[in-house]
Copies of this chain bind each other. A is one copy, B any other.
Amino acid sequence: MQPAPYICCMFDSINSYLTRCSPVTGEELEYFDSLLEYKKVAKKTTLLHEGDICNFEAYIIKGCIRTYYIDEKGIEVTLQFAIEDWWVSDIASFHDHKPSSMFIETLEDCELFIINPSTKELLLSKIPKLERVFRLMVQRNLSVLQSRLFTTIATSAKDKYLDFINRYPTIPQRVAQHYIASYLGISPEFLSKTRTRLSKK
């Protein structure tokens, strides 16, 4: 067995993320890492509140985060669950410096890498290649969301749930069930009923 090329360090996961997206040199990687801010955040912390301007993009080293909206009646709609090796942000707010209409909240104790708008600018101007990486990230995001919209509109609660646990098999073990209901767009009670009906068959 070959020795590992690098000693395991906290940058490993994000660096491997990056190299998977685009061929970057060692120096570029080093520069990238040098601009990252490391942050530990406790469970149940709200990282972004509706009305705030989102000044971060966070890469999750460890933990679980959800982003959600709240409507006038107080109903929550979960937009995304993010776990290890994912990015979280409100890009629209981050990019245009305008107030966000969503919330971002940790569901577990988290370790994050943070970049803010100015470090992102710096990064992009120094390593233009990254423009592409970020574009690909957003593109992937978009196509996932497109297929989710389709599922949301076209399928029953049961099928939405089955699709969810199929797509994200590890999430149900990590987050409360009523969050999943709010992701699927159904009531927590009905999700519970759907689950028992499924397990009886």
Contact = CB atoms under 8 A, between A and B. Distances in A.
A79 interface: yes
A37 B140 CA distance: 27
A166 interface: no
A154 B68 CA distance: 12
Interface in A169-189: 185
Nearest to A75: B154
A142 B79 contact: no
A144 to B, nearest CB: 9
Interface in A118-161: 128, 131-132, 134-136, 138-143, 145-150, 152-155
A92 B185 CA distance: 25
Given A71-B155, A139-B92, A152-B152, A79 B131 contact: no
B79 A146 contact: yes
A55 to B, nearest CB: 16
Nearest to A135: B135
**Mostly helix, strand, loop or mixed at chain A's interface?**
helix
Interface residues of A, number: 33
Contacts of A185: 152-154
Nearest to A186: B153
A134 to B, nearest CB: 6
23 contacts: A69-B154, A71-B150, A75-B154, A77-B149, A77-B153, A79-B149, A91-B142, A91-B143, A92-B140, A92-B142, A92-B143, A101-B147, A102-B146, A128-B131, A131-B131, A131-B132, A135-B138, A138-B138, A138-B139, A142-B142, A145-B145, A145-B146, A149-B152
Report, nearest first, the 4 A-B pairs whose CB atoms are least far apart: A153-B185, A92-B143, A131-B131, A135-B135
